[in-house]
Structure 1
Amino acid sequence: MSDWMAHSAGWDGTWQTMRAHTSAVSEGARERAPSFLREDAYLAGLFHDFGKYSPVFRMRLQGEASGLDHWTPGAFALLKNGLSEISALVVHGHHVGLAAFPQIDVLRHQYQSLERRELTLQLSDMKSAALAMHGDGLVPSGSPARTRLTKNVAGMLDVRFVTSALVDADHSDTAFHFTGVERTNARLFDIDKALRNLQSTIRRKQKGQMASTVGDLRLSLRNAAIKAAKGPRGLYALEAPTGAGKTLAMLEFALRHMKQHAGEKEAFRRIIVVLPFLSLLDETVKEIRGALGKEAADLFEHHSVAPWRDVSGEENMRGRERAEDWTAPIVITTSVQFLQTLFANKTVPLRKLHSVANSVILMDEVQSVPRPLALATMRALARLASPEYGCSVVLSTATQPEWEAHAHRFGEGESPFQPLAIAPRSLGLFDKIDRFTVDWSRTEKPIDWDALAEEMIAERRVLAIVNLKAHARQLTEAIQNAGWEGPLLHLSTNLCPAHRKNMLERSEVTAGDCLFVATQCVEAGVNLDFPVVYRAVAPLESIVQAAGRCNRHGNGRGQVRVFMPNEERYPGKMYESASKEALKWLQINGGELDLRDPAIFSGYYARLDSLSDAPLTKQELEEAIRTADFPKVAELYRLIDEQDVVHVAVPYEGAPDVPAVLTAEWFRKAQRFSVSASRKAVQASLWCRPISEDRRWWQVTDPTGYDPDLLGLKLDAELPIL
């Protein structure tokens, strides 16, 4: 038996040998990795604990040493022997996170701990450690397809997938050693049963839409999705009007596409639904669960307010496990969670990444990807849709960005970006919608809140969407001051998630008199239907989303009224540039823009792409990619800049009390009862105080600081939000 140990006494009192642990991890990593990276993953598994063949590490297991670096020796051995730069990066980073490649490359010539820790092996110990490893029968059995790292988005993604395979295999084997409990796998759904359930749901919906414009539109989109599902794996684009039934059409595409490719060597394993806003999640989850019935039993939600976070016991434990490995047959998550994982360098978010391979990925509202991240995002998605990873990626929106026009900027070695159209423009889907007219006349002269309030009161049932939380509050107050006595609703991210959910469930939202004032947080996926919609001047794609809340079910003809507020302010420079470009495009087109015409958006996006202050990438990000600087890329690829944002726990009904000592359980539960706001505004507030050591979490200490009936969090200065 080997004298070298990987772990101290486990659940049954026995120590785990290096032979047992390394064998399990190397094989486990190889099984988890995409086929073309399996030898890199196997090598990473073999060498990940190479530094434990050391008397110093034996002292660590006996509690006689600490703060050791056991990962650098393995990375050094891989580099020195020319085995795999990918594996070397992964071995070094499997505890401390992926480093910049130039730092790792230094190890070829200068053996040292990059983290300034005591190394478990010195150079003079390397030979004896290698002999011990060979004595355990741990010898490389194959060679990777390539030994050198490709320094681009595709190459860096390969490193992250190998990291994921290694970390999950390592953590799983270690957990089993200490607990004796194997993680249970999620139940895979039956594709045929899921399709039958979905078809029954669609038939029921169609009965209520017979001989209607909306029914015809949804049938056309569904037929197009069924036809497209017979196509090859790869990139797909779905461009369809709001209200066309994209959620169920994409779901049917995914199921039929999985069935089409079921007989292949590596079949599709799961569906991953990616949504940009929390406001989309409840409706989408409800729709998918309703459509699939029992086959959605193991659907998993991974986001900050997922239901499993609010419970304890087995359900919470199972949720945390699924968040770590994404082995559920259907995963519904946010753009932040999904896309930032593709560019992460830390092991916690990366652990689940290997489960993305061979998935059908449905990305809704793809136009919401921040422009400075678009070029990097395109390259990552193209890589996932390549034959190596075996994914099919659907990019869905009512206003498809002209991303393929920029594929020539990818650089050498990246995967091609050539999406197939699920619903070609020749189908005329946009010609089938005639639910509303658009009045642009209010963009010519600014209108003040009092005048707008009077117009809304005259209509009695109206939705008004503005760009800033401060504007939403001011318009709401103007309506109150004008003497409106009917239902008045206000929705912005000044309301905590639990408050927003309750607001949207009120009966006034669906019928009867109601003046509803909101920020753009209602523009995508929130099932609102108003005969009249006011929209403050915004980027053209935002105006289209607002129009999607107008006469959604095609009952007569609604009105969309675009207006310029008396106080022209926008949430950020790029949003302002896109809004002003929309106004210029309006003027160029004679003061009218047909929101049903996709060509209008092609011209608009072409103009946006020419603006220097609305770039599709950041120079600093491109430089970090060029040098394979993993920490810098992770720092720069952020969908939401939270540097100056804090979280405020608010006293809304059901909120957990703030304990004397903050716990992980409290943070999980508090997510649904917190509001994100600017640090400066919160610090200036009279009724907020910090409650965490890093001052990232604050608490409303005075009940007057939060209005549970209408306005939510009250701050003197407010954070513009998207």
Structure 2
Amino acid sequence: MIISFQVSDEVQKVPVKCLSLFNKAINFLKEVGHCSILLCTATQPALGDLKANLKIDGEIIQDLSQRQEDFKRVKFTDLTRQGIQEHPISSQELAELITYKFNDSQRILVILNTIGAVNQLAENLDSGQLNCKVYALTTRMCAAHRQKLINEIKDRLAQKLPTICVSTPLIEAGVDISFETVYRSVCGLDSIVQAAGRCNRNGERDRGDVYLVLLNKDSEKLDKLREIKWGQKIVLNMLAQKDFDPDSLLQTKVINNYFDHFYQEIDQSELSGYPTSDEGRDIHLADYIEGKQASRDYLQQNSGSELKAFSGSETIAKHFEVIDQETVSVLVPYGKGSDLIALLNSQNYQDSLSEIFKEAQPYLVNVFKNMLRGLIEKEVVYPIEFPFSDREVYAVRDSYYQEESGLNYQIKNSESMIF
């Protein structure tokens, strides 16, 4: 007898427009494929409450509320308000706050929502005055670079050396690290809980401190980051409630309430299942998982016209993209990346291009395609030509990749990147 399992980790991070697709696919695996499904998350989204609902059998952890209390390791402090008024602060003011409190705790993680905000705060923190090493982590650094810095940070934390790490949300998942204190720029509750998981992770103290802060619009631009803005709005409304205890943010009922409001706040056309356009027709890809219904819709909408071969799975494959904006990878001159760039430029290589590209994976940085032309015009990147191949490969010039901040460029709207 063959028993099949499907394990999905960090399910709270499924993009909104993919939720109905995700639910229908999991239901199919469970009901038709007879798979056992395990969803792993610290903040279970209300996937059973959607129109295309996920058929969940229940929690595998008994007495969940009590278990949450048993594992409570942090204390939340709300710094987003002064009295009853919201209190946005600048990057400089946040740097001053961290400096003022530095003697109370000297191993600090700050998680902000955009790359621009991270780099600005790292510049505003005076490592000399603090007598402390300050790190900035963003995905303008290649994976090899980030991993090197994370290993350095872990070593310093183990030695109890003064250390400040300023990072985008990349540190919130898949990084086993523990700081005494965490500052988190307000965002969705799922990310706040993940950030809290990097504070006092190993129980070094009775309680670690998690401070919630609200950066002003000049310091953190969220105009193009809709889901973060939606989540931020809901959390700020929660914090504004009279007698609301910030420590309750970890409670199951508060998490459920957050997701209920989140799904009401977002664009319902996205929630209905990946809206897109196919040959001039507005469609939702989630409808195409049920092949018969999709075929009926297609025949109905195209009656009287010349019919083409139709496949629901092919339609999904043609349009599905997890990330809204397409990106292109550029090879950076960091570590072995410099040697690989020189090798590709020389065209004097013995291994196949596929092998070289595989070796190059840790030295790639993704940039949005709509910024690529600007990067080429500014001579930040340049294409590497291959005589007998149509592959597109771009390399970063040495002066535009730095140890402190990674790929360093200024292109319009780039401050909104969070990856």
Work out whether 1:452 is the aligned partner of 2:94. yes
CA gap 1:376/1:447 in 2 versus in 1, 3 angstroms = same
Question: What residue number does 1:520 align with?
Answer: 169
> Equivalent of 2:369, from 672, 676, 679?
679
- Pick the aligned partner of 1:434 from 48, 65, 72: 72
Amino acid at match of 1:601: I
Match in the other structure for 1:576 = 229
Distance 1:640-1:550 versus aligned 2 partners, 3 A rule: same
Q: Is the 8 A contact 2:46 2:259 kept in 1?
A: yes
Aligned position for 1:476: 122
TM-score (norm 2): 0.79
CA 1:585–1:635: 2 relative to 1, 3 Å: farther
In structure 1, the partner of 2:250 is 596
8 Å CA contact retained: 1:529, 1:551: yes
State whether structure 2 residue 29 is matched by structure 1 residue 384. yes
Name the counterpart of 1:404.
Answer: 48
How big is the shift at 1:635?
3.6
* Percentage identity across paired residues of the two chains: 27
> Residue 251 of structure 1 corresponds to which residue in structure 2?
none
Amino acid at match of 2:14: V
Deviation at 1:482, TM superposition (A): 7.3
**Letter aligned with residue 598 of structure 1:** T
Q: 1:666 and 2:356 equivalent? A: yes
> Which whole-Å CA distance do the structure 1 matches of 2:391 and 2:87 have between them?
44
Following superposition, the deviation at residue 648 of structure 1 comes to 1.3
Whole-Å separation in 2 of the counterparts to 1:426 and 1:612: 28
CA 1:448/1:642 → structure 2, altered by over 3 Å: closer, same or farther?
A: closer
C-alpha distance after superposition, 1:497-522 (max 9, x if no partner): 11111111111244321011000000
Name the SS of the counterpart of 2:97 in structure 1. Answer: helix
Would the alpha carbon gap of residues 533 and 503 (structure 1) be closer, same or farther in structure 2, given more than 3 Å must change? same
Report the 3-state secondary structure (helix = DSSP H, G, I; strand = E; otherwise coil) of the residue aligned with 1:521.
helix
Give the Cα–Cα distance (whole angstroms) in 2 for the partners of residues 608 and 589 of structure 1.
Answer: 20
- Aligned counterpart, 2:401: 706
Q: 1:578 to 1:635 in 2, by over 3 A?
A: farther
Question: 5+ unaligned residues in a row in structure 1: which ranges?
Answer: 1-265, 269-357, 411-415
Does the 8 Å contact 1:366/1:397 carry over to 2?
yes
Displacement of 1:487 in angstroms is 1.1
Deviation (angstroms), 1:557: 1.4
- Report the alpha carbon displacement of residue 467 of structure 1 after superposing the two structures with TM: 0.5
Verify the 8 A CA contact 2:114 2:168 in the aligned structure 1: yes
- Aligned equivalent of 1:542, options 168, 191, 207: 191
Structure 1 residues 377, 623: CA separation in 2 closer, same or farther (over 3 Å shift)?
A: closer
1:425 Cα offset (Å): 4.3
Indicate yes or no: 2:303 matched with 1:608.
no
Q: Which amino acid aligns with 2:418?
A: I
Matched residue type, 2:134: L
- Give the residue type in structure 1 aligned to 2:368: S
Q: Deviations over 1:471-515 (max 9, x none)?
A: 111111111487444211111101101111111111124432101
> 2:255 & 2:179 partners in 1: Cα distance?
24
| Cα distance between partner residues in 1 of 2:336 and 2:196 | 34
CA contact (8 A) 1:647 1:696 kept: no
Is this contact kept in 2: 1:648–1:699, CA < 8 A?
Answer: yes
Give unpaired runs (5+ residues) of structure 2. Answer: 276-282, 296-310
Decide whether the 8 Å contact of 2:182 with 2:199 is kept in 1: yes
Residues 1:499 and 2:181 are matched in the alignment: no
C-alpha change, 1:512 and 1:683, in structure 2 (3 Å) is same
Instruction: Determine if the alignment matches structure 1 residue 715 to structure 2 residue 384.
Output: no
Asked if structure 2 preserves the Cα contact closer than 8 Å seen for 1:379 and 1:417, the reply is no
In structure 1, the partner of 2:209 is 559
- Separation (CA, whole Å) in 2 of partners of 1:475 and 1:426: 38
| CA 1:395–1:469: 2 relative to 1, 3 Å | same
* CA offsets 1:549-583 (integer angstroms, 9 cap, x no match): 11112222111111111234226222212221221
Amino acid at match of 1:684: G
CA deviation profile, 1:311-367 (whole Å, cap 9, x unmatched): xxxxxxxxxxxxxxxxxxxxxxxxxxxxxxxxxxxxxxxxxxxxxxx2x22211110
Shift of 1:389: 2.0
1:618 matched residue in structure 2: 274
Distance apart, 1:632 and its partner CA: 2.6
Correspondence list, 1:173-188, <5 A:
none
Offset at residue 439 of structure 1 (A): 1.0
RMSD: 2.4
Q: 1:527 to 1:622 in 2, by over 3 A?
A: closer
Mapped to 2, the partners of 1:382 and 1:639 lie a distance apart of 20
Offset of residue 546 of structure 1: 0.5
Q: Which residue in 2 is equivalent to 1:363?
A: 8
- How far apart, CA to CA, are the structure 1 residues paired with 2:75 and 2:162? 21
TM-score, normalised via structure 1 length: 0.47
Contact 2:65 2:251 in 1 (8 A): no
**What corresponds to 2:307 in structure 1?**
none
Q: Which residue in the other structure is 1:646 paired with?
A: 328
User: For residues 433-468 of structure 1, what are the alpha-carbon distances to aligned partners after superposition, in whole Å with 9 as ceiling and x for unaligned?
Assistant: 332111112353112222222232342321000011
Q: Please, which of 531, 537, 545 is the counterpart of residue 180 of structure 2?
A: 531
| Segment drifting more, 417-426 vs 432-441 | 417-426
What SS does the aligned partner of 1:604 have? helix
Equivalent pair of 2:88/2:216 in contact (CA under 8 Å): yes
Amino acid at match of 1:450: Q
TM alignment of 1:92-107, pairs within 5 A: none
Superposed displacement of residue 699, structure 1: 0.7
Shift of 1:679: 2.9
Match of 1:463 in 2: 109
Alignment-mate amino acid for residue 711 of structure 1: S
Letter in 1 for 2:52: R
Post-superposition offset of 1:426: 5.0
Q: 2:79 is paired with a residue of what secondary structure? A: strand
Task: Give the structure 2 partner of residue 15 of structure 1.
Answer: none
Matches within 5 A, 1:63-74: none
Letter in 1 for 2:20: L
Q: Does the 8 A contact of 2:182 with 2:210 survive in 1?
A: yes
- Alpha-carbon distance in 1 for matches of 2:35, 2:30: 5
1:65-144 matches, cutoff 5 A: none
